[in-house]
Chain A
Amino acid sequence: MPPPRTDKTPVASPDHKRYFIEKLGLSERLMERCLGEALSAGGDYADLYFESVSSTSLGIDESLVKSASQGISVGCGIRVLSGERTGYAYTDDLSSARLLHAARTAALIASGPAKEPIAGFRHTSDNPTLYPIAGAAADAEIAAKLALIQRADRAARAFDPRITQVRAGFSDELRRILVAASDGTFASDTQPLARLNVFVIAQDAGGNDGAGSTARGTSGGGGRVTLDFFEGTHSPEHFAREAARTAILQLDAIAAPAGEMPVVLGPGWPGVLLHEAVGHGLEADFNRKKTSAFAGLIGQKVASEKVTVVDNGLMPNRRGSINMDDEGNPTQETVLIEKGILRGYLSDKLSSRLMGMPNTGSGRRESYHHIPMPRMTNTYMLNGTDMPEDIIKSVQRGLYAVNFGGGQVDITNGKFVFSASEAYLIEDGKVTRPVKGATLIGSGPEALKYVSMVGNDLALDEGIGTCGKAGQSVPVGVGMPTTKLDRMTVGGTGQQ
């Protein structure tokens, strides 16, 4: 174990490495030895990924603070790359014996003569940070966090007497990471993350023509932020009212239509369309293996010329943003689709080396238990020139969907779904009745060809998105302006 030292709350210094050296008792010398062991049976590359995460979660339910928890997780993942092969082992014990043992286990993937030991790391100077280092995770602020969920509870209940159940939760974490690699990489970051969620139930004894009805509503937001983010436009009252509003609205919702029709997506969270329809399909691992419906389509038209889609990890304070990826590379803004033409993939070290293409700094992982792979950060469509109201006016009969619960994609055939949680009918160019939730389905390489209008009101989601791939979850953002797709299949039960 490391020698005891005074526990300082997160230092304001940008030198995130200090935590691992001073607090966890690691040394560059030990890291070099581990990398030497990792490459003792050959291999092209090895890296060590140290991670320390502390997390807090608070929950209010029936106006009582019923849950409060804290967790600490510390460990190291060791990876060896040999051609297309990956060997991986991890340990939650950072003693030199356990680290060296993990390195030897990961080394088993390769079979060849030992590589030259590496001598010295290339210390990258820390770039300007996209987020506050302390984030919201300082223990001293626990009373302030508690106040946030209590305010959310009160605001949701005050919104309407038909709100019968309110749950609100606040959770945050501080994730410190350090990557030391045989290519000389020596980089670290401290990534705060916070989110506030509100969940409500509304009941109306007289709703649904006297039969009574019940509905749910959810809302939430956050990012890589300090607690002062949750004031003003992102206040607990804002999220509480938003959850309550959607629940009340759903009490009288009619069945969503079924079949193919024009669909207008509102700004912000509906950008999950891009995440599912194109984002996953452009992750380099699927394209290297030619298992993606987008494989081989670079330079080809995959969307209408009104569509430009980027993945941007550089947006300050955003949930999907990162100063560096989990392989120690700086993140960047990557153009995926430019005026309808497929431009690029999202890549990590392995994919960029094997495919001979630039590394976009997209190597991410859920934790030290996991092997990194190409992932999205904040994925969104750039503004067009149409006015949102003109877009609605242009639809005779269709669906206007403004909020979504989540989505999924089959990378190989390109079919994707996303499930609307707040949607309305458009009748004669006007937004009319709210409809129940419905799943929308389309084909990734085709769906965006039907984009005929793009608004000038780009917005990003509120900051609660989590993306799952191969069993690993990472925080992401999505966004889009109001967008019209001339046709899409809507999975309701009502009349077309």
Chain B
Amino acid sequence: MPTEAHTAADLKQLASDVLARALRAGATDAEAVVYEGDEFSTLVRLGQVETLKESGSRAIGLRVFIGHRTASTSSSDFSRESLDRLVDGAITLARITSEDPFAGLPDPAEFGQNNSDQHLYFDDVNLQPPAERIEIARAVEAAAMAFDTRIQNSGGGDFDTATSHRILMNSRGFTGEYRRSYCGFSAQPIAHDADGKMQRNYWYSVARTTRLLEDPTAIGQEAARRTLQRLGARQVKTQQAPVVFSPEVARSIVGNIFDAANGDAIYRHASFFAEMLGQRVAGDNVTVIDDGTLVFDHDSGIKTGGFGTAPFDGEGLPTRRTILIENGILKNYVTNTYTARKLGLAASTGNASRSLAGNPGIGAGNFFLQPGTLSPDEIVADVKSGLYVTETMGFGINLVTGDYSQGAAGMWIENGELAYPVEEITIAGNLKDMYKNISAIGNDLVFRAATAAPTLRIEGMTIAGS
């Protein structure tokens, strides 16, 4: 159900009104964020539509400063009475917080946004008839189910869309807004082996426009292949061995680099990257970049902004490209205004993330490890005996110490080939060592999300099993 048509002018007026009220109520500075979004999702299971969900929502968030004190409020109710409470609540709360000399809006000279079209919003995502979306969900599941007789059950095929409109405005003169669109579908087949043991897996396609979604049949078949590959999985013996990380799993250990370089963790010494600026934290072959401005050119002639692309960050600073690690040397932390000030840095890296309430956090744009030259097959071919990991589970990552211990599943590699599926094992090491022990980097970098990584091989990890 789309929300009532609020024009951009209405929402901007709302933000502006709230800022004016906050200043009248005693704020020395204020910042408002207005969010409006529509979502659609459907799940088709065993050929039947199982769920159909369609809705729109909106909310406003307010952050106020009284000198160096700050507080925030949010509301999904835009009535006059609620907006009064939004303002009064923020002012009342700010008075009970502490003076923090580092708290405050950015210097106005830092405000800005990328004015070129970042290709973040495509109308077709909203205009596509629900029947077509349901048909894609049906088709992707059907393709997975038809792939092999060992696939007789399914978690379903789904199709989701989301569009959003965001306005950020503050009392120091910044006003910015952007719209983004997203659509995607996936299949989650379930396969049985002869003993009745089940395995599930999935595969998916996501894009900013329906025109760039992949073929549902191909995606369904890939989901089926990934599921069948897991049948008959077993444990291996506890041992040390090289581990090849598929791009889906490599993405998460590369994401840990962003978390470790997060200025908030750095100033608290809650990261193993603390006080490591300018020092070696990874092998020569490792370069890691955050870029909030990426726009991709597609073969079809369409351009789309990355899933981590935006014209400005959560505080109204232009997004930019920041090299975190260059040839193994830690070059930059990632910061918002507050953490940049805490760390004595000249400026924020434009990585402020802003949810409706709370102080700004730090978030990645498009974050990636630069690809190498080897194909994934070549990376596996060099392994005499080791693990190709396709899935990790758990919460065993400690960014203070770098200790890493996760549940894992994948394929065992014997003499350079994927030999048999494995599961119910763990992989463990320390991220400080793991980044230095990356012995091969794939050429297969694909942005299926805001964070992306190619296939990676890491030497000397401990695999625990039977």
Residue in chain A with minimal CB distance to B53 = A88
Are A89 and B198 CB-contacts (below 8 A) given A72-B74, A406-B395, A491-B406?
Answer: no
In whole angstroms, how far apart are the Cα atoms of A105 and B72 in the complex?
Answer: 34
Range, interface on chain B: 35 or more
Q: Which of A57, A109, A369 contacts B49 (CB 8 A)?
A: A109
Residue in chain B with minimal CB distance to A208 = B401
1/0 contact trace for B408-447 toward A, CB 8 Å?
0100000000000001111111100000000000000000
B200 and A412: CB pair below 8 A? yes
B71 and A68: CB pair below 8 A? yes
B429 and A66: CB pair below 8 A? no
A439 and B465: CB pair below 8 A? no
A-contacting 9-mer, from B91-99, B136-144, B248-256: B91-99
From 197 to 245 in chain B, residues with beta carbon under 8 angstroms from any chain A beta carbon are 197-200, 230, 233, 235, 238
B400 and A258: CB pair below 8 A? no
A437 and B396: CB pair below 8 A? yes
A489 and B97: CB pair below 8 A? no
In whole angstroms, how far apart are the Cα atoms of A91 and B53 in the complex?
Answer: 12
Chain A nearest Cβ from B237, distance in angstroms: 8
Residue in chain B with minimal CB distance to A98 = B4
Q: Which of B72, B98, B395, B398 contacts A408 (CB 8 A)?
A: B395
B71 and A439: CB pair below 8 A? no
A69 and B71: CB pair below 8 A? yes
Any A CB within 8 A of the CB of B149: no
B238 and A64: CB pair below 8 A? no
B200 and A410: CB pair below 8 A? yes
Q: Which of B98, B130, B394 contacts A65 (CB 8 A)?
A: B98
Chain A nearest Cβ from B80, distance in angstroms: 9
In whole angstroms, how far apart are the Cα atoms of A489 and B405 in the complex?
Answer: 12
B-contacting 9-mer, from A28-36, A336-344, A413-421: A413-421
A108 and B96: CB pair below 8 A? no
B464 and A67: CB pair below 8 A? no
In whole angstroms, how far apart are the Cα atoms of A490 and B405 in the complex?
Answer: 9
Residues of chain B with a CB closer than 8 A to A442's CB = 424
A102 and B409: CB pair below 8 A? no
Any A CB within 8 A of the CB of B114: no
A438 and B405: CB pair below 8 A? yes
In whole angstroms, how far apart are the Cα atoms of A413 and B409 in the complex?
Answer: 11
Any B CB within 8 A of the CB of A473: no
Chain A nearest Cβ from B97, distance in angstroms: 5
Residue in chain A with minimal CB distance to B357 = A69
| Residue with the greatest number of chain B CB neighbours at <10 A, chosen from A70, A75, A289, A442 | A70
In whole angstroms, how far apart are the Cα atoms of A201 and B271 in the complex?
Answer: 10
Residues of chain B with a CB closer than 8 A to A293's CB = 198
1/0 contact trace for A376-414 toward B, CB 8 Å?
000000000000000000000000000001111111110
In whole angstroms, how far apart are the Cα atoms of A489 and B462 in the complex?
Answer: 13
Are A68 and B394 CB-contacts (below 8 A) given A88-B53, A291-B200, A491-B427?
Answer: no
1/0 contact trace for B167-201 toward A, CB 8 Å?
00000000000000000000000100000011110
A291 and B155: CB pair below 8 A? yes
A-contacting 9-mer, from B54-62, B282-290, B369-377: B54-62
Are A146 and B96 CB-contacts (below 8 A) given A74-B77, A418-B394, A443-B424?
Answer: yes
Q: Which of B85, B98, B233 contacts A64 (CB 8 A)?
A: B98
Are A417 and B398 CB-contacts (below 8 A) given A66-B98, A88-B53, A216-B270?
Answer: no
In the complex, how many residues of chain A place their beta carbon closer than 8 angstroms to a beta carbon of chain B?
A: 82
Any B CB within 8 A of the CB of A211: no
B394 and A87: CB pair below 8 A? no
Any B CB within 8 A of the CB of A492: yes
Residues of chain B with a CB closer than 8 A to A412's CB = 190, 198-200
Any A CB within 8 A of the CB of B75: yes
B75 and A72: CB pair below 8 A? yes
B76 and A72: CB pair below 8 A? yes
Residue in chain A with minimal CB distance to B199 = A413
B52 and A88: CB pair below 8 A? yes
B269 and A85: CB pair below 8 A? no
Chain A nearest Cβ from B308, distance in angstroms: 20
Chain A nearest Cβ from B272, distance in angstroms: 8
From 285 to 302 in chain A, residues with beta carbon under 8 angstroms from any chain B beta carbon are 289-291, 293
Are A84 and B50 CB-contacts (below 8 A) given A64-B100, A71-B75, A291-B153?
Answer: yes
| Residue with the greatest number of chain A CB neighbours at <10 A, chosen from B48, B90, B94, B400 | B400
In whole angstroms, how far apart are the Cα atoms of A446 and B272 in the complex?
Answer: 37
In whole angstroms, how far apart are the Cα atoms of A108 and B131 in the complex?
Answer: 12
B77 and A72: CB pair below 8 A? yes
In whole angstroms, how far apart are the Cα atoms of A96 and B103 in the complex?
Answer: 43
A439 and B93: CB pair below 8 A? no
Residues of chain A with a CB closer than 8 A to B190's CB = 291, 412
Residues of chain A with a CB closer than 8 A to B465's CB = 259-260, 489
Residues of chain B with a CB closer than 8 A to A441's CB = 393-394, 407, 424-426, 464
B466 and A102: CB pair below 8 A? no
Chain B nearest Cβ from A203, distance in angstroms: 6
Are A65 and B96 CB-contacts (below 8 A) given A90-B57, A489-B424?
Answer: yes
* Beyond A72-B76, A84-B45, A213-B401, 4 additional pairs, beta carbon < 8 A: A68-B96, A75-B57, A441-B394, A490-B464
Residue pairs across A and B with Cβ atoms less than 8 A apart, 9 shown, are A1-B79, A87-B52, A87-B53, A92-B58, A216-B401, A369-B57, A439-B426, A492-B428, A492-B462
- Would you list the 4 A-B pairs with minimal beta carbon distance, nearest first? A491-B426, A417-B407, A439-B396, A259-B238
- By a beta-carbon cutoff of 8 Å, the part of chain A in contact with chain B is 1, 4, 57, 64-75, 84-93, 98, 101-102, 105, 108-109, 142-143, 146, 164-165, 167, 201, 203, 213-216, 250, 256, 258-260, 289-291, 293, 369, 371, 405-413, 415-419, 436-443, 489-493, 496
